[in-house]
Structure 1
Amino acid sequence: MRAVGMILAGGNSYRMRELSNKRAIAAMPIAGSFRSIDFALSSMSNSRIQKVAVLTQYNSRSLNEHLSSSKWWDFGRKQGGLFVFPPTVTADNSFWYRGTADALYQNLDFLKNCHEPYVVIASGDGVYKLDFNKVLEYHIAKKADITVVCKQLPPGEDVSRFGVLRMNENCRIEQFEEKPMASDANTISCGIYVVRRRQLIELIEKSAEEGRFDFVRDILIRYKGVRKIFGYKIDSYWSNIASVESYFRTNMDFLKKEVRDYFFREYPEVHSKVDDLPPAKYNPGSEVKNSLISAGSIINGAVENSILFSNVFVGENCVIKNSIVLSDVYLGDNVHLENCIVESRDTIRANTYYNGDDGIKIVIESDERYVL
């Protein structure tokens, strides 16, 4: 494909509450054995984008470990590859990334040294599958300066977390509001853009000269009446996980057969780093209904409508309902969880009860197994 990929994976969100204390949002676990960034990386790999840069910043250690080898997404090529760019202190610059446009500006040399004529920019917190070749063909056919991938949400859905846009009959974007308090429009930006490489360099350099650092506000919104910015609508599954509620809902979507089949059985595949773990073990007396149980887990109790990530131990007489248990968690005997997210590397003591009666409860306990 005639494009280079740029994945913006350095952000944080207060809406993730305690879940972002350990990791970047792009490293959040999804569907038992994936990370959020896997979906953007897989879409780029499946679209034959050979060169991809990931811009990391906040709590990036877990994300950097996940990206330590490019082979899982087939980027280990002589031409191209997977590049990870954290903020770098130089003689000329001592800032962290001050925004999405500034993150691109601080890595502008990478773009200048590329030979691909187009750039695909994506965020690392979306769950989707997308053929970027079709987006690029649309971009070229429209003779667009920038193409924004967008999706129409169901009526009544909260759009305050997204960029909301309006298009004319030719799909040219005429209005763009970033995270409005209220809006009667329901077409939102998916945080995925296609732009010509030389034009992107020009726009980013211009913004930096003027002290502007945000790609959406300082480029998309500012130039919408000057540049030809078009929307590319998708109708396939897409979800953003940048809040506790949306993260919980997205994971629970994978308990639906049609969603699992779409991501796991239909071509193209979603790729991820694979851990060498034994299959899950179900001991006598265990009972599992409509749940995803990952490798390395041992089940002795009852699990229903839940997702358990790798290396989870469920003690005897435990009841887990409508919950997400992240990796390396030990649940003692007689533990009851309902409407919860259990943070990784936790030890939940025996005879403990947690219930998210008024919303999703995040359970964080000190892990005595690792105390010296």
Structure 2
Amino acid sequence: MKKVVGVINLVDEKNTLSELTNHRSFASVPFAGRYRLIDFSLSNLTNAGVNTVAVFTREKYRSLFDHLGSGREWDLDRHQGGLFFQPPADEERRNSGDIHSFYENLSFFKRSLSHYVLVTNGQLVWNVDFDQIIDEHEAENADITVVYKPCDDPYTSGSHYNVLYTNDDERVDRLNLGVEPLPGDNVFLNTFLMKSSLLISLVEDSIESGKHESINEAIAANLDRYHVHAHHFGGYVTFIDSVESYYRYSMEMLDPNVTQELFYNTGPIYTKVKHESPAKYLESSNVSNSLIANGCTISGTVENSILFRGIRVGKGAVIKNSIIMQKCEIGEGAVIENVILDKDVSVSPNEKVISEDQPRVIAKSTVI
């Protein structure tokens, strides 16, 4: 699809995942045994034929660069279009709103031959048909189409999102930014479509007037001026904004109904390929209701857990209700329960790491 350029906007990411975002961006947090969070939105774009994608970043993007590389796995390593990384050009504005990132990259949009800009973020776990949204946008003759999901998640309590209100024709008449949603409220997924020329105009006007720090503020301030249509996304989507919600959504990946909808009902979800041997289950292993990635060697017991690549579980070790990221070593007789181990953690033989109430995060490269 040559008429759309994609943007994955990571500028307003929040570091709300404790140790998991100490050394990486939110979008590069591992998920579901082999993916990173950004894989979902990036795959959704390329599944819709969007072959020019810019990633707007702010900080801690080294692991993201390493993961995405040239974009080959998403068919974005190409001579025309492709994958573009856009870190902040002005260090003094590193902590400013995303409107400045769009302004710094206006030449990217002006050089593009695309008719539309499709903006999304990098922390949504979902599988959305962007072609359908584009068709609906044109059928409604909208200036801007925003994507929302009714809030039915108890884990959003105490969290702040952008909430939109519509009339009977699904036209947005109010957009409240940074509020705590009530059950049934329409949560704006920070995903929208508009003409490239309109985006350029909104950004230039915002900078000239000094009124808006974010592109969402600019949209909210112009609801009377433009036809802003709301698209209701009815599929599976996550609201990850805490360690607790990350843990809960990760555990949902053990439900075959969820994985069927997320990975098989629409387009494929791509990720960086790691060429490792299949997981090895030794005679003493006992594995149930778990995701085990390639390169693992299992000699102990694993229940209701997610193990990423290259993990070694010693004989007699027990892992329950936990998320173990790549290259961890679990010694013989160790017990891990209700815990998230970041990558390269080593647990000594017979050690016990158990969390009773909330999931506990063990930082990268910790030795226990």
User: Partners in 1 of 2:65 and 2:321 — Cα distance?
Assistant: 30
1:179-194 mapped onto 2 (5 Å cutoff): 179-181=178-180, 183=182, 185-194=184-193
CA distance in 1, matches of 2:183, 2:222: 23
- CA positional deviation for 1:299: 0.8
Please report how far the alpha carbon of residue 25 of structure 1 lies from its aligned counterpart in structure 2 after TM superposition. Answer: 0.6
Instruction: Give 1:116-127 correspondences, 5 Å limit.
Output: 116-127=114-125
1:234: Cα distance to partner? Answer: 1.1
- Verify the 8 A CA contact 1:280 1:295 in the aligned structure 2: yes
AA partner of residue 214 (structure 1): S
The number of equivalent residue pairs is 365
Alignment of 1:215-234 (within 5 A): 215-216=215-216, 218-234=217-233
Aligned to 2:88: 87
Q: 1:361 to 1:324 in 2, by over 3 A?
A: same
2:137 alignment partner AA: H
| Deviation of the 1:96 alpha carbon | 2.3
Give the Cα separation in 2 of the matches to 1:320 and 1:142: 52
Q: Percent identity?
A: 33
Q: CA deviation at 1:23?
A: 0.6
Gaps of 5+ in 1: none
CA deviations 1:112-141 (Å, max 9, x no partner) are: 110111000000101111111111111112
Map of 1:270-281 to 2, 5 A cutoff? 270-281=269-280
Q: Is the 8 A contact 2:152 2:184 kept in 1?
A: no
- In 2, the alpha carbon distance for the partners of 1:104 and 1:10 equals 10
Length-normalised TM-score, structure 1: 0.93
Alignment-derived partner of residue 213 in structure 1: 213
Give the partner amino acid of 1:355: I
| Whole-Å separation in 1 of the counterparts to 2:136 and 2:69 | 34
Runs of 4+ in 1 over 3 A off after TM superposition: 181-185, 263-267, 365-369
Specify whether residues 189 and 345 from structure 1 end up closer, same or farther in structure 2 by C-alpha distance, changes over 3 A only: same
Bigger mean CA offset, 257-266 vs 170-179: 257-266
User: Counterparts of 1:1-372 in structure 2 under 5 Å?
Assistant: 1=1, 2-89=3-90, 94-96=92-94, 98-154=96-152, 158=156, 160-181=159-180, 183=182, 185-211=184-210, 212-216=212-216, 218-364=217-363, 366-367=365-366
What is the distance in 1 between the residues matched to 2:164 and 2:361?
33
Partners in 2 of 1:34 and 1:183 — Cα distance? 31
Q: Is the 8 A contact 2:20 2:363 kept in 1?
A: no
Partners of 2:367 and 2:243 lie apart in 1 by 26
Partners of 1:242 and 1:58 lie apart in 2 by 18
Q: 1:156 to 1:346 in 2, by over 3 A?
A: closer
Would you say the 8 A contact 2:342–2:365 is kept in 1? no
TM-score, structure 2 normalization: 0.94
Structure 2 segments unaligned to the other structure (5+ residues): none
CA distance in structure 1 between the partners assigned to 2:298 and 2:362 by the alignment: 19
Quote the Cα distance in structure 1 between the aligned partners of 2:65 and 2:102.
18
Shift of 1:364: 2.7
Contact 1:339 1:361 in 2 (8 A): yes
CA distance in 2, matches of 1:227, 1:204: 15
Q: For residues 133 and 3 of structure 1, what CA distance do their matches in structure 2 show?
A: 10
- Could you tell me which amino acid in structure 1 is paired with residue 31 of structure 2? I
Aligned partner of residue 16 in structure 2, secondary structure = helix
